[in-house]
Chain A
Amino acid sequence: GAVVSQHPSWVICKSGTSVKIECRSLDFQATTMFWYRQFPKQSLMLMATSNEGSKATYEQGVEKDKFLINHASLTLSTLTVTSAHPEDSSFYICSARDLSGGGGQPQHFGDGTRLSIL
Chain B
Amino acid sequence: GQNIDQPTEMTATEGAIVQINCTYQTSGFNGLFWYQQHAGEAPTFLSYNVLDGLEEKGRFSSFLSRSKGYSYLLLKELQMKDSASYLCAVRDRDYKLSFGAGTTVTVR
Contact = CB atoms under 8 A, between A and B. Distances in A.
> In terms of DSSP, what is the predominant structure of the interface of chain A?
strand
A25 interface: no
A93 interface: yes
> In terms of DSSP, what is the predominant structure of the interface of chain B?
loop
Contacts, number: 48
Interface string B95-107: 1111111100000
A88 interface: no
Contact of A104 (B40, B50, B102): B50
Contacts of A46: 96-98
Contacts of A45: 99
Nearest to A4: B42
A107 B40 CA distance: 19
A34 interface: yes
A32 B41 contact: no
Contacts of B41: 111-112
Interface of B: 31, 33, 35, 40-45, 48, 50, 87, 94-102
Interface of A: 6, 32, 34, 42-46, 49, 91, 93, 95, 97, 103-104, 106-112, 114
